[in-house]
Amino acid sequence: MATVFDIELHDVETVELSSDSDNEIDITEGIIDENPNPNEVIDLTGEDFDTLEITGANVNPTQERMSPKDFDLLKVLGKGGYGKVFQCRKRNGADSGKIFAMKVLRKASIVRNQKDVSHTKAERNILESVMHPFIVQLNYAFQTGGKLYLVLEYLNGGELFTHLENEGIFMEECSAFYLAEIILALEHLHSLGIIYRDLKPENILLDHEGHVKLTDFGLSKEHIQDNTRTLTFCGTIEYMAPEIILRQGHGKAADWWSLGALLYDMTTGAPPFHGGSRKATIELILRGKLTFPQYMTADMKDILRRLLKKKPQDRLGAPPDDAKAIKKHPFFKHINWEDVLNKRLEPPYKPCVSSEDDVSQFDPKFTKQTPVDSPVDSFLSESVNMIFEGFTYVAPSILEDMYKPPLSILRSRSPRKLGSSYRHQQHPLGFNIPNMPASSHLHHPGIPTYLEHHYDGSSGKNFKSLFLINQNNFIINCTECDSLWTICQTPKSPPS
């Protein structure tokens, strides 16, 4: 379950650029390593890296002392290169009976690579310092001789990635809702000098109401101001900004590129630049021309063009304006940002969960496994264990609420019917699509699309139906009459 904690840095092939334009990047001599090796051992003593000494002074001295024995393991939620993520229930003390997600990391695996040690400490440090409605909350952190434990709030709505896979694509209104909550989360991180650097559908979780929470801060970078840059090569290729690939130094604007890539993915079914290999994908990111499906509105195209500018200084959201410029874009003209922050907007999709400990939104490949925190099979020296000194943490809110009763179980929700959609559950969405071509087949990157024409003799009207087949072989039927397109989804076979 890479979304929860797996850190993967892929090999990157060198891509040469032949010319300069708004869609291409200059390679500045002396700044870029033309043959970057993401697997190289990097000196962590340089100015690009922070030494994150987490000591007992960082936490409340009256905190509860935690250990694995304070939690019952209920389910496996995911696995990665360094350990597992469990669903667990606290046995006693404050929050007794409450459900959490427990991220368990093996120290022996982490200490093999200095960068992984830095990433692990950074994640722990960031989670302690960040409190925001759209960012996952760290409740406890503790360690044993061979393992590190991060106990996070459990979000039973699963990943946005899973929801997107099931739907195929989101309509613009739906995408604007998710993007608005994500923007506020990134804005808060940037205000604290933190670059997220790993925005993708797998790292966006949903709570039981359908609101988003950013998770997985293993690749985030602290202490970044508007005029500072970092050179670390990290992130997921398809959502990675050109300046990260080129190792020219990147700042907060890199997150806004990833936001644009995410928006494009949500509304088309694939990232904007995606080739058959990593090399092809990188070349497209650096040199490729941005193209749009014909059903996109003008505001959607404009915000994507401006977020996906190759040069970070030209990008919407570039310092010093940051999120303020993005929030003012016409794409969000119907968004009340105060309502977004206070969760007064109804999410377009509510996960079908029956209780607080529901795991139906997670991969059965993991949830059907027996939850066992396996014993450590290696001995770590005292000097190695000292690397993680001060890792222990208890959220201040838990210390304040030690004598409050546990949270009650969430109310049951009706299961989502097969083939239903948030578009059907609330109301049909309509939007104008000017100049829709009268062709029998439309090319749509990442999703098979078909355009059909038919005549209704009873009304004397001509209709067009645009079929977008998602990955579950459901048809998203966009029907046009009098220039208005309405959306529905049905479990039929694709049109021949």
Q: Give me the amino acid identity at 304.
A: L
Q: Give me the amino acid identity at 352.
A: C
- Asked whether 357 and 87 are in contact (CB, 8 A), the reply is yes
Burial of 496 (0-12, 13-18, 19+ CB in 10 A): exposed
Burial of 91 (0-12, 13-18, 19+ CB in 10 A): exposed
Q: Residue 106, by phi and psi: left (phi above 0), alpha (psi -120 to 50) or beta?
A: beta
Which residues neighbour 458 within 8 Å (Cβ) at sequence distance 6 or greater? Answer: none
Find the angle CA(393)-CA(398)-CA(403) to the nearest 5 degrees.
135
Catalytic residue (choose from 70, 116, 198, 358) = 198
**Cα 407 to Cα 352: distance, rounded to the nearest angstrom:** 20
Residue 354, number of CB atoms within 10 A of its CB: 16
- Asked whether 181 and 129 are in contact (CB, 8 A), the reply is no
Whose structure tokens read 């009873």? Answer: 458
**Cα 198 to Cα 442: distance, rounded to the nearest angstrom:** 32
Cis peptide before 406 (omega within 30 of 0): no
103 is in an annotated binding site: yes
Q: Tell me the H-state helices in 3-113.
A: 107-110
Q: Give me the amino acid identity at 278.
A: R
Rg (CA), the chain: 24
Q: Give me the amino acid identity at 446.
A: G
Encoded tokens for 496: 């021949």
Which residues neighbour 57 within 8 Å (Cβ) at sequence distance 6 or greater? Answer: none
Encoded tokens for 133: 């409605």
Active site includes 20? no
Nearest Cα to Cα of residue 134 among 112, 117, 157, 113: 157
Q: How many helices (H) and strands (E) does the chain have?
A: 14, 14
H or E stretch at 282: helix 278-287
Burial of 455 (0-12, 13-18, 19+ CB in 10 A): exposed
Can you say which residues are annotated as belonging to the binding site? 103
Can you say which residues are annotated as belonging to the binding site for ATP? 103
Residues marked active site are found at 198
